[in-house]
């Protein structure tokens, strides 16, 4: 049996980024940027005021303070979007609004709060240093600077940055489409009643949601019965997608037909079984350049394998350099029995504390009990040589998501 690390290396060895497509700016949020972006202009494009106030020569008002104010003649009023018509000279000032182009000659802006204006003369009650309240061209982004790198997942601030450079469209990676097949004679579609021995097909939906969260596009192909004929036709259809995910049918049971079907359809199995729990029966195959994951049927096993192996594959296809989930250290709150010879991924709740995090195990660790993943936000990693993780020890935890806080931060 291969290790988790070997499995991951094997899977990622052949994955290539998909092609690129140009989309409208607002379609680009959460997409992977497919080129590095350089500033094609200075932002801000011109010297402008950071305050509503008066553009002055700092020298003129250097001596102004509480006891001694300075009077300047007001030349004109410049609003944002206006172009000043007069240069500021000794003894004069221009009334200016935030974002307005600075007049020639002025090197600072006094806030309106520190002035009083009457009959075209402004009285300044406080001196300022040269440069005060002045924004310089290129202060935010300088012409030619690389401001976003390829593989960046675009966030709202990035969208705004692209907008301030004037980009109406963006080049992004094509999203991988992942075909999802749920195999099993016991499975029932949502909304159908359960007869004896039947369960709802939850895996297809869990995986579709996880595929979307990873930035890819799910294509649910429905329930596939455990017969060679139905499996053949379902997988043949699935191979039209960029990635294939099936669940169930990869264990030792009489009706576990997935591996045989994949072999018949020209897939090359790179490995079957990984020294891990949950998720041991994972079968990984390739068909041409298409990765084909035979995920285990147990809901927790399928999702853990998704996070460990499928998510990085999808991200590699998206050209994202950061393939893996973040890992944090945490203090373990419980004693946990683990399996010698296997890497265990124990579902835990991560609680931030003064030292970092505390990890508490979520109830039953059955690989059928999906609630353990719904309750937890972390996978506590137990290396193969460990048989027990002791309460109080420091463990590594793979973070599955960020929790928002009930408490306001201030
Ligand atoms: P298998 O690997 O096919 O033997 O399935 C292992 C376990 O996972 C069995 O208890 C199945 O009933 C369950 N299972 C398989 N497929 C699904 C699915 N699509 N949704 C929920 N549970 C499933
Ligand atoms: Mg099955």
Using 50 as the pLDDT threshold, list the residues of the chain that sit under it. Answer: none
Q: Phi and psi of 349, rounded to 5°? A: -95, 130
Q: What is the CATH number of the domain that holds 303?
A: 3.40.980.10
Domain boundary among 290, 317, 344: 317
- Residues 29, 166, single domain; the answer is yes
Question: Which ligand places an atom closest to the C-alpha of 181?
Answer: 1
Q: What is the pLDDT of residue 404?
A: 81
Ligand (nearest to CA of 203): 1
Please name the helix (run of DSSP H) or strand (run of DSSP E) that holds residue 238, with its range, or none.
Answer: helix 228-238
The verdict on residue 141 lying in a domain is no
216 and 301 housed in the same domain: yes
- For the chain, the 3-state helix, strand and coil shares in percent, each to the nearest 5, are 20, 35, 45
Q: Is residue 239 part of a domain?
A: yes
Is 265 inside any structural domain? yes
Q: Is 299 in the pocket of ligand 1 (CB under 6 A)?
A: yes
**240 and 307 share a domain?**
yes
- Same structural domain, 245 and 165: no
- From the CA of 293, how far away is ligand 2's center (Å)? 15
* Tens digit of each residue's pLDDT (9 = 90 or more) over 40-57: 999 999 999 999 999 999
Beta strands in 174-235 (DSSP E): 177-183, 187-188, 199-200, 217-224
The answer, yes or no, to whether any atom of ligand 1 lies below 6 A from the CB of 253, is yes
199 CB under 6 A from ligand 1? Answer: yes
pLDDT value at residue 405: 83
Protein residue closest via CA to atom 3 of ligand 1: 248
Rounded to an integer, what distance in angstroms lies between the CA atom of residue 208 and that of residue 218? 5
Which residue, of 73, 106, 135, is where some domain finishes?
135
Same domain, 36 and 156: yes
Pair 291, 222 in one domain: yes
Residue 362 CA to ligand 1 center (angstroms) comes to 21
Domain co-membership, 77 together with 185: no
Ligand 1 contact via 139 beta carbon (within 6 Å): no
The dihedrals phi and psi of 8, each to the nearest 5 degrees, come to: -60, -45
In this prediction, residue 403 carries a pLDDT of: 77
Number of domains in the chain: 4
End-to-end CA distance of the chain: 51
Q: Residue 202 C-alpha to ligand 1 middle, in angstroms? A: 9
Confidence (pLDDT) at 180:
98
Q: Which domain holds residue 154?
A: 21-40+148-173
- As a whole number of angstroms, the distance between CA 262 and CA 323 comes to 27
């Amino acid at each position: 049996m291969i290790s988790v690390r070997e499995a991951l290396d094997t899977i990622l060895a052949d994955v290539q980024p998909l092609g690129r497509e140009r989309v409208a700016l607002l379609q680009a949020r959460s997409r992977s940027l497919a080129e590095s972006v350089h500033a094609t202009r200075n932002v801000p494009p011109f010297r402008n005021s950071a305050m509503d106030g008066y553009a002055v020569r700092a020298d003129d008002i250097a001596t102004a303070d509480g006891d001694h104010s300075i009077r300047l003649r007001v030349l004109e009023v410049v609003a944002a979007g206006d172009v000043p018509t007069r240069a500021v000279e000794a003894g004069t000032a221009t009334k200016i609004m935030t974002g307005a182009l600075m007049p020639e000659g002025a090197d600072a802006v006094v806030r309106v709060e520190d002035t009083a204006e009457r009959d075209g003369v402004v009285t300044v009650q406080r001196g300022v240093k040269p440069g005060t309240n002045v924004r310089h061209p290129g202060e935010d982004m300088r012409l030619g600077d690389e401001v976003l790198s390829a593989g960046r997942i675009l966030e709202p601030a990035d969208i705004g940055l692209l907008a301030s450079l004037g980009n109406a469209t963006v080049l992004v990676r094509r999203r991988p489409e992942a075909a999802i097949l749920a195999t099993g004679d016991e499975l029932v579609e949502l909304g159908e009643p359960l007869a004896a021995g039947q369960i709802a097909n939850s895996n297809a939906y869990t995986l579709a949601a996880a595929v979307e969260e990873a930035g890819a596009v799910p294509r649910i192909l429905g329930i596939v019965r455990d017969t060679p004929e139905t499996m053949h036709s379902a997988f043949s259809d699935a191979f039209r997608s960029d990635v294939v995910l099936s669940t169930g049918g990869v264990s030792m049971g009489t009706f576990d037909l997935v591996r045989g079907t994949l072999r018949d359809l020209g897939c090359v199995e790179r490995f079957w079984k990984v020294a891990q729990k949950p998720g041991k029966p994972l079968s990984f195959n390739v068909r041409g350049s298409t990765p084909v994951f035979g995920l285990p049927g147990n809901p927790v096993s399928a999702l853990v394998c998704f996070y460990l192996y499928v998510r990085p594959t999808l991200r590699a296809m998206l050209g994202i350099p950061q393939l893996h989930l973040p890992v944090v250290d945490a203090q373990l709150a419980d004693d946990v029995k683990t399996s010698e010879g296997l890497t265990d991924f124990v579902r835990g709740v991560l609680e931030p504390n003064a030292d970092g995090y505390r990890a508490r195990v979520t109830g039953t660790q059955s690989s059928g009990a999906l609630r353990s993943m719904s309750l937890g936000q972390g996978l506590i990693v137990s290396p193969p040589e460990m048989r027990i993780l002791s309460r109080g020890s420091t463990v590594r935890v793979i973070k599955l998501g960020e929790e928002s806080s009930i408490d306001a931060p201030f």
